[in-house]
A and B are shown apart, each in its own frame.
Chain A
Amino acid sequence: MESKHWRKVDDLFQAALDCETDRRRAFLDVACAGDAVLRADVESLLASYEQAGKFTAAPALADGLRVLEQAGSEFASDSMLGRHIGPYRIVRAIGSGGMGTVYLAIRADEAFQKQVAIKVVKRGPDTGLIIRRFYSERQMLASLDHPNITRLLDGGTTEDGLPYFIMEHVEGQPIDQYCDAAQLDLKDRLRLFRTVCSAVECAHRSLIIHRDIKPGNVLVTAAGVPKLLDFGIAKLLNPPAEAAARDVTAPAVRLMTPEYASPEQVRGENVTTVSDVYSLGVLLYQLLTGTRPYRLAGNAPAEIERSICDQAPERPSVTAGRVLGRRLRGDLDNIVLMALRKEPQRRYGSVEQFSEDIRRHLDGQPVAARPDTTGYRAAKFIQRNKAWVATAVVFFFTLTGGIAITLWQTHVVRGERDRARLEQAKAARINAFLQEMVGYSGVAGGSPNQKSHDATVADMLDDAAQRVETELADQPEVKAEMLGTIGSTYMTQAKYDLARRYLHEAHTLDLQLYGQDAWQTAGVMHSLGDISYLAGDYAAADSWFLRALPIFRRHANDADFEIRTLLATLSDAAFVKRALGRLDEAEALWREVLTYAPRLPDKYRSQGMAPKTFLAQLYVDRGDIGKADALASEASQELREFGGDRFSLAQSLIDLGNIRRLERRYGEADLLIQEGTDLYAQAQGGDHPNVAFGLTTLAMSRYDQGRYALAEQDARRALKIVEKLPKGHYYAGARLALGLIVNKTGRSHEAEPLLREALAIRREKSPRQSNYVAIALGGLGECLFTQKRYADAEPFLLESYQILTNLHVPQSPVLKEARERLLLLYAAWGKPSQLVR
C-alpha cells in the first residue's frame, strides 16, 4: 500500500513539477535536506516524466480499436494463438461471430497431422450455463452421424474457463458462393439443397434442431459435398426461454443470424424443427435468386423483428429477374414461400416434406405447396392430411403416450407403403385429386375466415368426401385409398363417427377389390382398430386387430415397411389388450415385436425397441418395478445410442424417470423426467400435451420428495397446458397430481373437487381393473381421510387396494402404500382393520 516514503516522493515530485524548471534544483536542495535516497528517487521520476510523453502521446485506445476491428476481432482470439487445447495446437483463427471465434488446430503429437476446428465461446454472463448444457447434451450431439454433418468431437473449457467445442474441420466454400463459383444450374442447386435437407432431417430425428442455418454454416467441399456445421451449438449458446426468463441479467442479444431467423426465433418464442424449415427456406430463396427474401430495415432489435415478422417476402420469380424468373414461377415460388410462412403451423410440417416437394417438382409431379392467397385452407388441409396424420394424432389422443408413438409410426409407414405400392400413375391421380380438392375455394356459405378455420376444414373434408363419391366412382382403387385417407383425417379431428363411416366404406370397397386376406384390406382394418380404441370401444378394436394381424404376419417376409407395419399393428393391438386389462396377452404381443426388431435396418431400429418401453409400462401396471426398470433402462439407452426417433426417446426417459421415482431414486428421477420433457418441448413446442405429461410426472416425483412448492408449480404448468384440451388422460393426470399436492399442504377442501374430477375421467376412460383407476381412488380416499371423513374415505381406499391386489405383484411399492394407507385409516378411525393381515 501507499507507504510514507511513497507519499513523500509524490508530494515532492508534484511540487517540483509545479516549480519553474530553473528553480527545481534549488527547491529540492531545501526540500530533501540531505536525504540523498529521497532526492535521487524524485529526480529520476522527474527525468522519466520528460520521456514518458513519447509513449503516452498515442493513447492505446486507438491501438485497441484497430486490434478489435482487424485482428479477428475477438479479444480472446489472439490470446489463443499457439495454445494447446487437449492434444491440439491452435494455428489460426478461421472465423468469428457473435458467439466466439473458430480456430484451425492441428494434432501435434502424431506422425500424421489431423486438423480440427475449435470454436471458443467468448466470455459472457452465461458462460457457466453453456458449459453445463454442453455436458448434458454432448452425448446426443456426438451421436449425430451423417455424411453431410460435421461431427462434434469433444468439448470442454479452456484454462481461462471459456467453453470450447472441437469439431471436424471442413475445407469448403459457403454454399451460396459455391453454387455461383461452380455455375450450378437450377436443377443442380435444388439437388444440392435436398442433400442439405437430408442432413437436417437426420438431426431432427435425434431431436437436434440446428437453429442457425445460413450459408456460412453450410460449406461445400471441392468434391461438391455439402457439410453442415455447428449442429446443436446454437442451442447450447442460447438458453431456453425458461432459463432466460429466470435469469434477467442474461443479455437480450439472441445469437442467431437475424437474416435467416424465423419469426418465432426473433420474437424469442419456442423454437422447433419447423424453425429450421424456415431458415432452409431463406437459404433456398438465396440459392435460387441470389438475394435474401427481405432487407432488414436496420440493426435495432425492433426493426429486425418488424422486417422478419411483418414483411411479406417477394416471390422468388419476381426477385430473380425475367429469364430465371420464368423457371421459378409456379411450383418453386410456392415451395419457397410455403417454407417461409410466418406462422410455423402453416409451413411444411417437416424438412422431409419440404425436400419431398422439391423432389416432386424435379420429377415433374404436382407439388403440395399452393399459393398463399387461395391457399390458406388448402395448405391447412394438406397439412392436416399429411403432417397432421403424422403429428396431430399425437396431440389429441394419448393413453400413455405410447399409443401415440405407434399411431404416428403407423401413419408414416402407411405413407411409404402408398408410395411404394401404388404404381406411379395411380399415385399421380390421387395427388392431383387431392390438390384439386384442397384448391377448391367455393365452400358453400363459408367465408375464408381464419377464426373459423377448423369449421372450414371440416367443411372441406365433407366436401371432399362427397366428391370422392361422385368423381372417383370409376376409379375404385383410388377411391378406396381416398376414403381411407379421409377416414384417418376425421380420426385426427376426433370425429369418430364420420371416421368410422368412411373407414367402413373403404373397408367394404377393399373387400370387393382385394378380398379379405389382402394387405390393402388389413391396412384399413388397422385404422378401424385404432378408431375403435380411440373411441373407447376396446372389444371392437380387439376384433379388428385379431383379423388384421394374421394378414400382416403373412406379409412380414417382404420388405422393411411391411415388417414395420406389422410391428405398428402388433403394438397397437397390445395397447388394446392392455386397455382391456389383459396384460399377459399385451405382453405377448410386445414380446413378438421385439423378436422382429433385429430384422429392421438401423434407421428403424427404434421402432423395434419402443415395445421395451411399453413392456416396462406394463410392469409398472403390475407394480413389478424391478423388471420395469431393467427394460426401461435398456430401452432408453438403446434409443440414445441409435439416435432413434425422438418421441420414443422422450417418452422412454420420462417413463424411466417415473420408475426411478417409484424406486425412490429421486435425484435420477428428476433428471430423467426433466430431460424427456425438454425433448418433447423442443420437438413439439412448450405447450404440447406431451410436455404436460412430463411436467405431471415431475410434479409427482417432487410430491414424493415432499418438495410441495416445486411440485405445485409443475402441476399448475401442466394443467395450464391440458386445460385447453378435451378432458382425457393427461388432464386427469394433472388434476390428480395437483389435488394430491394441494391436499398435502393444508388445502384438502380445495383438493377434493380436483381429485373427484380426476377419478371420474379415469373411470370413464380406463378399465375398472386398472392402475389408473386404483391410483385415482387412492388419491381421493387420502383427501377424505385428511378431512377426517373416515367413513367416506374407506370405500375408495378399499376399492383401490382391491384393484391393486388383483393387478400387482406382491412386492409392488404401490400396493404396499395402498395397504399402509388403509391401515392408517383404521388406526385413526379406531375401527378394527378390514384387511386380512
Chain B
Amino acid sequence: MGATGQLTHLLEDWSRGDQAAFDQLFPLVYDELRKMARHHMGHERPGHTLQTTALVHEAYLRLVHSDPEGIDTRAHFFAVAAQVMRRVLIDYARGVQRVKRGHGAQKVALEDAALLADDRLEGLVAVDEALTRLATLDPRKSRVFEMRFFGGMSMEQAAGVLKVSPITIMRDWRMAKAWLAREIGVR
C-alpha cells in the first residue's frame, strides 16, 4: 500500500469514528503538508496568502482525487491538516518566544522570527489558548474555528466532517470568532 493509499484508509477509518487512526494520520498529514509547502511556497512572496491557499487546496484535491468517496475523505484530510497547522504554528511561536527570553547567549535563531511578525505570533498563541478554553465551553465551535482558521476549510467541508448543516457551521463560526476576539482583546 502506497503512502497515499494508507492515508486514504486511515482517513476513512477516522471518519468512521476510529480515534486511533488519528494518531497515525498526524505524522502522515504533516509530511504531506511539508511536501506541499516545499512545492508551492518556494517562490512565494509574503502577502500572497490567498494564492497560497488556493494552491494548497489544489494540491489536496490531487492527493485524494482518485478516491470515489473523495469528498468526505478530503474533508477529513483538511480537518487533520488544520490540527497539524495549529500545532506547527504554536510550536514555532513558542520556540521563538523561548529563544527571546533566553539568556542572551543565542541570538542565532532570531532571524527566523522575521518569518512572521511578532504581533502575529503573539496573536496566534493567544488564539490557541483561547481556543482551548472554548473547547471546554463549546467543543464544536472550537473545532469549526480550528478547521476554518488553521485549515482554510470551507463551510461545506467543515459541515461534511462534523456532519451538521452548513448553516450551523456558519453560526458556529460567527460565534467562535466573536468570542475569541473578545477573549484575546482584538481592537
Contact = CB atoms under 8 A, between A and B. Distances in A.
Interface of A: 1-3, 6, 10, 13-14, 17, 44-49, 51-56, 58-73, 75-83, 89, 91-93, 108, 122-125, 249, 251-253, 300-301
B148 to A, nearest CB: 7
A17 B150 contact: no
B106 A82 contact: yes
Contacts of B149: 56, 59-61
Contact of A67 (B31, B36, B94, B116): B116
A751 B109 CA distance: 69
A573 B74 CA distance: 71
Interface in B129-187: 136-138, 148-152, 171, 174-175, 177-182, 184, 186-187
Interface in B82-119: 82, 84-89, 91-92, 94-96, 98-99, 101-102, 105-106, 108-109, 112, 115-116
Given A51-B187, A81-B98, A122-B27, A67 B180 contact: no
Contact of A79 (B49, B82, B94): B94
Given A54-B186, A78-B112, A2 B26 contact: no
B61 interface: no
A251 to B, nearest CB: 7
Given A67-B115, A67-B116, A56 B177 contact: yes
Interface residues of A: mostly helix, strand, loop or mixed? helix
Contact of A249 (B24, B38, B105, B106): B24
A304 to B, nearest CB: 12
A62 B52 contact: yes
B124 interface: yes
A635 to B, nearest CB: 43
A54 B159 CA distance: 24
A280 B123 CA distance: 50
17 contacts: A51-B181, A51-B186, A52-B180, A55-B127, A56-B149, A59-B152, A60-B86, A61-B52, A62-B53, A65-B37, A75-B91, A81-B98, A92-B106, A249-B24, A251-B27, A301-B2, A301-B3
B181 A75 contact: no
A91 B106 contact: yes
Interface in B30-56: 30-31, 33-34, 36-38, 40-42, 44, 46, 49, 52-53, 56
A237 B72 CA distance: 33
B41 A69 contact: yes
Given A46-B178, A81-B95, A61 B151 contact: yes
Nearest to B46: A66
Contacts of A73: 34, 37-38
Contacts of B87: 75
Nearest to A73: B34
B124 A60 contact: yes
A54 B101 CA distance: 28
A44 B42 contact: no
A300 B2 CA distance: 9
Given A6-B137, A63-B116, A71-B115, A125 B178 contact: no
Given A51-B187, A70-B115, A10 B1 contact: no
Nearest to B172: A10
B6 A63 contact: no
Contacts of A124: 27
Given A3-B137, A62-B52, 15 more contacts: A1-B137, A14-B171, A48-B179, A55-B123, A64-B88, A65-B33, A65-B40, A66-B115, A72-B112, A78-B112, A81-B99, A91-B106, A123-B27, A251-B27, A252-B3
Given A82-B95, A249-B24, A59 B148 contact: yes
Contact of B175 (A14, A60, A72, A252): A14
Interface in B48-87: 49, 52-53, 56, 81-82, 84-87
Contacts of B186: 48, 51-52, 54-55
Contacts of A52: 177-178, 180-181, 186
What are the 3 A-B residue pairs with the smallest beta carbon separation, nearest first? Answer: A78-B95, A79-B91, A64-B85
Contacts of B179: 45, 48
A81 B92 CA distance: 9
Given A62-B49, A83-B98, A75 B88 contact: yes
A6 B136 CA distance: 12
A78 B91 contact: yes
Interface residues of B, number: 73
B16 interface: no
B37 A59 contact: no
A246 to B, nearest CB: 15
Contacts of B44: 66
Contacts of A253: 3, 31
Contacts of A92: 106, 108-109
B88 to A, nearest CB: 4
A13 B178 contact: yes
A249 B108 CA distance: 39
Contacts of A66: 37, 41, 44, 46, 115-116
A108 B106 CA distance: 11
Contact of B92 (A62, A78, A122, A252): A78
Contacts of B109: 81-82, 91-93
Contacts of A83: 98
A75 B186 CA distance: 27
Contacts of A122: 27, 30
A430 B185 CA distance: 88
B19 to A, nearest CB: 14
A68 B2 contact: no
A236 to B, nearest CB: 17
Contacts of B92: 67, 71, 75, 78-79
A79 B95 contact: yes
Contacts of A51: 181, 186-187
A373 to B, nearest CB: 37
B99 A82 contact: yes
A63 B89 contact: yes
Nearest to B92: A78
B10 to A, nearest CB: 8
A56 B148 CA distance: 9
B91 A251 contact: no
A499 to B, nearest CB: 50
A257 to B, nearest CB: 16
B98 to A, nearest CB: 4
A797 B124 CA distance: 80
Contacts of A54: 186
A252 B124 contact: no
Nearest to A58: B49
A124 B24 CA distance: 7
A61 B79 CA distance: 12
A252 B182 CA distance: 46
B185 to A, nearest CB: 9
A45 B27 CA distance: 37
B43 to A, nearest CB: 11
A68 B37 contact: yes
- A52, A73, A108, most chain B CB atoms within 10 A: A52
Given A60-B85, A81-B98, A76 B91 contact: yes
A567 B13 CA distance: 63
A81 B177 CA distance: 31
Nearest to B50: A62
Contacts of A251: 3, 6, 27-28
